[in-house]
Amino acid sequence: MDFEFTPEEKDFQKEVREFMDREVNEGVIAETESLQGAGPYSKELIRKLGSRRMLTPSWPEEYGGRGLTVMADSIFMYELTYHRGPFPLDGVEIARCLLHMGPEHLKKRFLLPVARGEIDVALGYTEPDAGSDLASVKLRAVEDGDEYILNGQKIYNTEAHHCEYHWILVRTDPDAPKHKGLSIFIVDLNSPGITIRPLYTSSGLRTNEVFYEDVRVPKENMVSEKNGGWSFAQNALRGGAGAPDGALRQRFDSWHEYLLGPGRDIWQKNPWVTDEMANYYIALHVHDLLAFRQSAMVDNGMPVTYEGPMIPAIGGPLRKAFFHAVMRMMGPYGQLAEGSKWVPLEGAMSRDFLDSCRQTVIHGANEVQKILVARALGLSRK
């Protein structure tokens, strides 16, 4: 039993931290805080990270990694998000699926550019009528010679507007049982016929509708076997969902720092505040332990079942609860938005409070995550 990182992992963590301290500049932070996706500063950072093989440390060297443990991937994500770097990097999680399950010709084409931070791939799953019931997707792909013609619509594809490619789940056989008529394609988002329209959440975060109108995609861009896309879809989702939440830790630390400094009165006049802070310190810590546990289990060859979906099942509600608690601690000041006179911490907390609603519905609704845990525990389904 060991609760420390290996010497290799510690070295990597140190290297990543030093890099982040140096390179995550005001431009990157502003883009992250803007909730508009990865802008030019963020992309520059991602390229630099990629050129140092930091984005995908567990990947084989031939694909742009360092052959380190899966834990190193988690360490990287934690440090990236803690330092307020661009997140999520859907492309990395998607490419990981490609690495494990994809056809050789697509691995050769995409893995290195993703690992180098040269291209990014957006997740393209959700449709207006297919959220939790993902297998209900309707976006149709019809075979036509060497190509497929795609028609339909995706929604809440948050990274689409700044990515080069789209990893989409489409219906290739409308007559087969739901799960068995699906395929995955990687589509060039510059293809004629694709329209991206912004949508905004209550926190101002930009997401997108993506419309496909007679979009022609080469057959070789089909990732799965025809109609074998469901297992790919599930695999690509799993990776990101189990990450430890460095961004939440950053918010805890900055609120903690505020309380010890300008916000002294808040806890000195209200003892319950310190109890809440202690409670969330513990809650964040155990969540991190469980998230790192998953990586450790993978690295130690232990089968991961319920331990995976358990993490987002905890993490989403934890985020919500934490920001609700911070709002309570702030009292009336919590209602102030960014740019307002008197707003503490530049409005970050109220913005995250609004954004926290999103955390329990993305990458699998919390209810679905819990059902996955329940199934993995062996609870009867019927």
Partner 1 sequence: MDIRLSEEQEMLKNAARDFLTEKCPKTLVRELEKDDQGYSPQMWQEIADLGWLGLIFPEKYGGGDMSFLDLAVLLEEMGRACFPGPFLPTVTLGGLPILDFGTEDQQQKYLPEIASGKAIFTTAILEPGDSKYKAASIKVKAAADNDGYVLNGTKLFVPDAHVADYILCVARTKDSAKAEDGITIFIVDAGSPGITTTLLKTIGGDKQCEVAFDNVKVPEGNILGKLNEGWSIVQNIIERAALAKCCEMVGGMQAVLEMTVEYANQRVQFDRPIASFQLIQEHCVNIVIDADSSRMITYEAAWRLSNGLPYSMEAAMAKAWAGDAYVRVTTLASQVHGGVGIMEDHDMTLYFRRAKAGELFLGDARFHREAVARGLQFETV
Q: Is the peptide bond preceding residue 332 cis, with omega within 30 degrees of 0?
A: no
Q: Which of residues 150-189 bind partner 1 (CB under 8 A)?
A: none
Binding-site member from 5, 82, 167, 322 for partner 1 (CB under 8 A): 5
- Best CA proximity match to 135, nearest among 80, 183, 95, 79: 183
Q: Strand 147-155 vs strand 140-144: parallel, antiparallel, or unpaired? A: antiparallel
Binding-site member from 25, 274, 335, 340 for partner 1 (CB under 8 A): 274
Is residue 277 near partner 1 by the rule CB under 8 A?
yes
Is residue 363 near partner 1 by the rule CB under 8 A?
no
For partner 1, give the closer residue by CB, 166 or 287. 287
Question: How many other CB atoms sit within 10 Å of the CB of residue 123?
Answer: 27
- Best CA proximity match to 17, nearest among 115, 84, 116, 83: 83
Is residue 320 near partner 1 by the rule CB under 8 A?
no
Binding-site member from 145, 177, 332, 379 for partner 1 (CB under 8 A): 379
Asked if 143 contacts 193 with a C-beta cutoff of 8 angstroms, the reply is: no
Binding-site member from 268, 328, 331, 340 for partner 1 (CB under 8 A): 268
For partner 1, give the closer residue by CB, 307 or 355. 307
Is residue 215 near partner 1 by the rule CB under 8 A?
no
Binding-site member from 97, 130, 325, 373 for partner 1 (CB under 8 A): 373
Is residue 270 near partner 1 by the rule CB under 8 A?
no
**Residue 21 Cβ vs partner 1, minimum distance, rounded to whole Å:** 23
Rg (alpha carbons) of the chain, rounded to whole number: 21
Is residue 132 near partner 1 by the rule CB under 8 A?
no
Q: Which of residues 290-309 bind partner 1 (CB under 8 A)?
A: 290, 292-293, 295-297, 300, 302, 306-307
Phi, psi of 188 (to 5 degrees): -70, 120
Q: Greatest CA span in the chain, whole angstroms?
A: 73
**Residue 291 Cβ vs partner 1, minimum distance, rounded to whole Å:** 10
Phi, psi of 218 (to 5 degrees): -60, 145
Q: Where are the alpha helices (DSSP H) in 173-262?
A: 230-241, 246-260
Q: Is the peptide bond preceding residue 174 cis, with omega within 30 degrees of 0?
A: no
- Give how many residues touch partner 1 by CB under 8 A: 47
**Residue 271 Cβ vs partner 1, minimum distance, rounded to whole Å:** 7
SS3 of 63-86: HCCCCCCHHHHHHHHHHHHHCCCC
Residue 59 tokens read as 């990947």
Binding-site member from 8, 203, 256, 338 for partner 1 (CB under 8 A): 256
Binding-site member from 109, 281, 336, 354 for partner 1 (CB under 8 A): 281
- Integer CA distances (angstroms), 12 to 58, 72, 191, in order: 11, 7, 39
Binding-site member from 25, 132, 202, 279 for partner 1 (CB under 8 A): 279
List interacting residues with partner 1 (CB under 8 A).
1-5, 71, 256, 259-260, 267-268, 271, 274-275, 277-279, 281-282, 285-287, 289-290, 292-293, 295-297, 300, 302, 306-307, 310, 313-314, 367, 370-371, 373-374, 377-382
